[in-house]
Amino acid sequence: MINNVLLISKNQLLLEQLQSNIDPNEYALTQTSGSDIMQKCFLLSPCYIFVDLNDLSEQMIQVIKTINDLDYIPILYIGEVSSAKRMEIALEDELLLPLDAFILQSSCLLKQGIQFKRQYNKVSQAYDTMDALTTDTKSIMANYLEHNTLDPVKLYNDIINSIFMDNPLLNNKPQYVWILIKVGDNYKANLYLREKPDDNYVNISISKVPMDHSFGFDVFAENGFKINLFESHLSDIDSTSKMFPDEMLNDMAAVENFAGYGLDQMVVIGCNYEHSVSSYEASILKSATVTLDLLENIQMKLSDVEGAFNYTLDALARAAEASDDSTGQHIKRVNEYAKFIAMALGLENSFVKEIAKSAQMHDVGKIYVDNSILQKKGPLDEREFYEMQQHTLYGERIVGASDYLKMASEIALNHHEKFDGSGYPNQKKGEAIPLSARIVSLADVYDALRSSRSYKPGFTHEKACDIILNGDGRVMPEHFDPQVLAVFKKEHLSFNSIFEAHNYN
C-alpha cells in the first residue's frame, strides 16, 4: 500500500532531497504551493504533511489547523524560526525541525508518523463505530416499540451491517461473523457472511454447536481475544481445530485470523479480517456483543411481559364466557377466525397479530350482566334484552383507553354493530364501524350459530353458512362487511376446520 505524503513548499530542491531519501515503493510525495491544500488533502488523504517555513503564512496555518480539526494528520514544520517569530505566526505547540536534521531523519519520521496515524485511525474508527451503533440501537428499539416485533436473525443482521458496512472509514472487516448464544448444553450459532468487499452481510446458517467442545479462546472471552494464525508469535494456538468445532469449521473457508468478545450467554466472533487483527477489532466486537446481549435480554423480558399480559387478557375473556363456555373454546375459535379473515384480506402482520389476541375480548362486558339473563333458556324480554345490549358499553369501560388495548376496546364496543346500520349500541354504519369489529362480528355470529347454548342447539356448518349467506330474518348478509363476507363465502371450509379443531364439548 502506497502512503501519500504532502509537501507544502515552493522549493524544488527540497522536493528532490526528500524524494531521494524515501522509498518510492512505500511513499508517494506530492508538492503544493499552498493555494490548493484543502483539495489535495481531500483527494490524497495524506498520512503526513511537511510544511516549509519559508513559504508559511498565518492564513496557511489556519487552513492546516482546519484540516486537522476535520481529520488528524501528523504535521512537521521544516526550517528554523525565532521564538518571537513563532508567536507572531501562531506556531505555539507545533513540531519544528531544522532542514538538515529533517533530511537525515525523514524516512524514520515517516515510519513513526504513519504508525501513529494508523493507530489513531483505528481508535477513531472504533469510537465512530460505537457511536453509530448506539444510534442504530435506539432506532431498532423505536421500531420494536412501534411495530411490536423484533426478529433476532434480522436484528443481528442489522447490527452487523451497521458496524461494518455503514461506516465507510472502517477498513478492516471480517468475512464471517459468528453470534453464539448459550441455550442449555449447546450454542445456537448464527453465521453471517460477506461474500464480496461491498456486499452486506447475510445470514447463511443457524446451527447447534455442543458446549462440551473446549473453545481455544473461551478463557479469554470476557476480556476479548484476537489471533492472527500466520503470526505465530502472537499465539500459542497452532490449529483452528483446537479453537473451532467442526460444526463451525464446515461453514467457513480456512481461518486466517479472528477476534471476538464474550459476555454472559453470548460470544461474537469475526473471522478472516482483511488485515491483521488487533485490540481495536476486539473492542469493536465488544461493543457489538454488549449491544446484542442487551437487546437479547430486553427481548426476553418483553416476551415475558407480553406473555403475562396475553395470559391476563385470556383469563379475563374466559371469566366473561364462564356462564356458557366453561371450556373457553369459543374465545379461542373467535381469535382464530378473526386471524384467518385478517390474513385473507391481506392486512399487515401487526394487525393480524393484534386481532388474534384482541378478538377474544369481544364479550368481556358480560361480566357485568346477570347470569340469569345470560343463561335464560327462553327469549329475553325488553328489559333483559336492553341489559344484554349494555355488555358492549361495559366491555369498552373494562378494557379502558390504553393504547395497548385500543383494538380490544373498539371490538368490545362495536362487534354488534351491523354494516347496514341496524346494530347496537350506536347504530354505526359501513366503514364507520372499525375494521377489527367488522371482522369479529362475522366470526362471532358464525361461532354462535355452531355452538350449543342453554337456549339453542348448535347448527351444522352447512346450516350456519346458509344463514350467514342467505339470511334467516334475524341474521342477514347485509349485516356484514361485503369484503369480510366474501372471504367467508370463499373460505367457509376453513371456518369449519377451525371449529372442529377447537371443539371439545
| Residue 332 burial (CB count, 10 A) | 21
**Residue 9 · residue 29 · CB < 8 Å:** no
Q: Is there a cis peptide before residue 425, judged by omega within 30 degrees of 0?
A: yes
10 Å CB burial of residue 436 (0-12, 13-18, 19+) is buried
Grid coordinates representing 338 are 378473526
The set of long-range contacts for 41-44, using a CB threshold of 8 Å and a minimum separation of 24, is 41/6, 41/67, 41/73, 44/4, 44/6
Q: Is 206 helix (H, G, I), strand (E, B) or coil?
A: strand
Please report the pLDDT score of residue 219 as a whole number.
Answer: 46
Q: Which residue has the cell 437487546?
A: 295
* Mean pLDDT across 352-363: 92
DSSP alpha helix (H) spans, 34-151: 37-44, 58-70, 83-88, 99-147
Q: Is 24 helix (H, G, I), strand (E, B) or coil?
A: coil
Please report the pLDDT score of residue 321 as a whole number.
Answer: 65
Mean residue pLDDT of the chain comes to 81
- pLDDT single digits (tens) 102-125: 777 777 877 877 777 777 766 666
Grid coordinates representing 442 are 362475522
At residue 472 the predicted structure's pLDDT band, cuts being 50, 70 and 90, is very high
Please report the pLDDT score of residue 126 as a whole number.
Answer: 64
Distance (Å, whole) CA 222 – CA 237: 18
Better-scored residue on pLDDT, 346 or 295: 346
At residue 484 the predicted structure's pLDDT band, cuts being 50, 70 and 90, is very high
Q: Is 77 helix (H, G, I), strand (E, B) or coil?
A: strand
10 Å CB burial of residue 236 (0-12, 13-18, 19+) is exposed
Distance (Å, whole) CA 271 – CA 257: 6
Among 390, 442, 394, smallest CA distance to 415 is for: 442
First to last CA, the chain: 78
Distance (Å, whole) CA 101 – CA 98: 5
Q: Which of 91-100, 212-221, 471-480 has the lowest mean pLDDT?
A: 212-221
Amino acid code (one letter) for 501:
A
Determine phi and psi for 32, rounding to 5 degrees: -145, 150
Distance (Å, whole) CA 107 – CA 111: 6
Q: Is there a cis peptide before residue 477, judged by omega within 30 degrees of 0?
A: no
Please report the pLDDT score of residue 320 as a whole number.
Answer: 66
Grid coordinates representing 448 are 354462535
At residue 242 the predicted structure's pLDDT band, cuts being 50, 70 and 90, is low
pTM: 0.53
Would you say residue 369 has pLDDT above 80?
A: yes
Would you say residue 349 has pLDDT above 80?
A: yes
At residue 419 the predicted structure's pLDDT band, cuts being 50, 70 and 90, is very high
Please report the pLDDT score of residue 326 as a whole number.
Answer: 46
Better-scored residue on pLDDT, 91 or 341: 341
Please report the pLDDT score of residue 424 as a whole number.
Answer: 94
Better-scored residue on pLDDT, 38 or 426: 426
Q: Which of 71-85, 160-174, 225-239 has the highest mean pLDDT?
A: 160-174
* Mean pLDDT across 162-177: 82
| Residue 103 burial (CB count, 10 A) | 16
- pLDDT single digits (tens) 422-440: 999 999 999 999 999 999 9
At residue 401 the predicted structure's pLDDT band, cuts being 50, 70 and 90, is confident
- The alpha carbon dihedral of 478, 483, 484, 489 has a sign of positive
Distance (Å, whole) CA 397 – CA 391: 10
Could you give the domains of the chain?
3-124 (3.40.50.2300), 149-296 (3.30.450), 323-502 (1.10.3210.10)
At residue 283 the predicted structure's pLDDT band, cuts being 50, 70 and 90, is confident
Q: How many helices (H) and strands (E) in the chain?
A: 17, 11
| Strand ordering across the sheet containing 266-273 | 202-210, 186-193, 174-183, 266-273, 257-263, 225-228
Would you say residue 232 has pLDDT above 60?
A: no
Better-scored residue on pLDDT, 151 or 111: 111
Please report the pLDDT score of residue 260 as a whole number.
Answer: 86
Distance (Å, whole) CA 415 – CA 238: 70
Better-scored residue on pLDDT, 311 or 347: 347
Distance (Å, whole) CA 295 – CA 157: 13
Would you say residue 347 has pLDDT above 90?
A: yes
Run of H or E residues at 349: helix 349-358
Would you say residue 399 has pLDDT above 60?
A: yes
**Residue 501 · residue 332 · CB < 8 Å:** no
Please report the pLDDT score of residue 488 as a whole number.
Answer: 97
Distance (Å, whole) CA 338 – CA 357: 9
Q: Which of 58-72, 255-269, 355-369, 397-411 has the lowest mean pLDDT?
A: 58-72
Within 8 A by CB and 6+ apart from 329, the residues are 502, 503, 504, 505
**Residue 103 · residue 78 · CB < 8 Å:** no
Would you say residue 141 has pLDDT above 70?
A: no
**Residue 213 · residue 245 · CB < 8 Å:** yes
